[in-house]
Amino acid sequence: MTTTEPRIIPMGLALNEAMDIAMGLDEKVFLLGEDIAEPSGGVYKITKGLSTKYGTHRVRKTPISEAAIIGAAVGAAIAGYKPVAEIMIMDFIAVCLDQITNHAAKIRYMSGGQTTVPMVIRTSAGAGRQFGAQHSEMLEAWAVHTPGLKVVVPSNPADAKGLLISSIFDPDPVLFVEPMLMYWDPQYACDVPVGDNRIPLGKANIVREGKDVTVISYGKQVHDAVKAADILAAEGVSVEVIDLRTLVPLDEATVLASVSKTKRAVVVHEAVTRCGFGAELSSRIHEELFGTLAAPVARVGGQNTPVPYAKNLETAFVPQVADIVAAIKSLNK
């Protein structure tokens, strides 16, 4: 009997593998974005080597125009292609919101289902690299508020690979949000299966089972939630941690089943707390489980300010493990 050795790789390489697999499976899949072809392979090197393998007609460098990138991707998707468009930084989504919200997200509805828009918008997001106020935001709440658009935020390399392949072959437009701090940092690397191991959109993952409180998160903050759970386990508090993986579609059944069991919930995300996705999820939990809850749902998120450049202020902006621990403890007062 042989055993397969774990293949520990970072998220950046896992994403590259996902696109490589998708391009190998379907010649209609192509990539477009700023500097994504050789020699750079994108600002984060995520598409490194793919233009050498598939040619520059399938890995297309574009001008610095987010509106043009997404407009071209929408047109290609309508014509039967499966474009994967890279918007370098999530803040730049603001430059192409018309193409995303008025075209990509609405064409299927406006055509009565006759025309689909199978495209992926990959974008990096998150604070922690001192990129400043215009290059560090998590803006997933904008996308979640747009009917017709699916939203994915992976927390580890294996999920990033499986979710990206599924997104590329999904018939609807998908905003794929990649936490930039996790691209090449070895502390976030994990065992990633070889080959086409797709993870379905809309299926959350129970990362850690518990019985006293449910912590719901996505992206990088899942790791902080697990650290908080480890700290509280030493104090006799059993914390269940759910990684949503996708915000749209939302695996509401898994969330409600967990909170029905624990009767307490904390929602954690890096984005500004006010009107963040945590507010919507908290509302859904209250609406469905009001009579079951032992305490109001708590939210942990970013401060109500643009992301600061100074390292100490940037750290203060982002929710920390201690904030999650404090929120959990507040539910037992």
Query: DSSP string covering 111-151, please?
Result: TTTS-----EEEEEE-SSS---TTS----HHHHHTSTT-EE
Conformational region of residue 160, where left means phi above 0, alpha means psi within -120 to 50, and beta covers everything else:
alpha
- For every one of its 333 residues, what pLDDT tens digit does the chain have, with 9 covering 90 and above? 445 678 999 999 999 999 999 999 999 999 999 999 999 899 999 999 999 999 999 999 999 999 999 999 999 999 999 999 999 999 999 999 999 999 999 999 999 999 999 999 999 999 988 888 888 899 999 999 999 999 999 999 999 999 999 999 999 999 999 999 999 999 999 999 999 999 999 999 999 999 999 999 999 999 999 999 999 999 999 999 999 999 999 999 999 999 999 999 999 999 999 999 999 999 999 999 999 999 999 999 999 999 999 999 999 999 999 999 999 999 987
Distance of CA 167 to the CA centre of its chain: 12
Cβ neighbors of 274 (< 8 A, separation 6 or more) are: 304
Looking at 135, 140, 240, 314, which residue is catalytic?
135
- Rounded Cα distance between 228 and 116, Å, is 42
Class of domain 9-191: alpha beta
- Fold agreement (9-191, 205-330): yes
Can you give the residue ranges of every domain in the chain? 9-191, 205-330
Is the pTM higher than 0.85? The answer reads yes
Query: What number of residues does the chain have?
Result: 333
- Rounded Cα distance between 74 and 130, Å, is 32
Which alpha helices (DSSP H) does the chain contain, by range? 11-25, 50-54, 66-78, 97, 107-110, 140-144, 157-168, 221-233, 252-262, 277-289, 311-317, 321-330
Q: Is 135 a catalytic residue?
A: yes
CA distances from 247 to 40, 310, 322 (A): 31, 30, 25
Q: Is 66 a catalytic residue?
A: yes
Cβ neighbors of 37 (< 8 A, separation 6 or more) are: 47, 50, 51, 56, 59, 60, 61
Class of domain 205-330: alpha beta
Looking at 34, 66, 137, 240, which residue is catalytic?
66
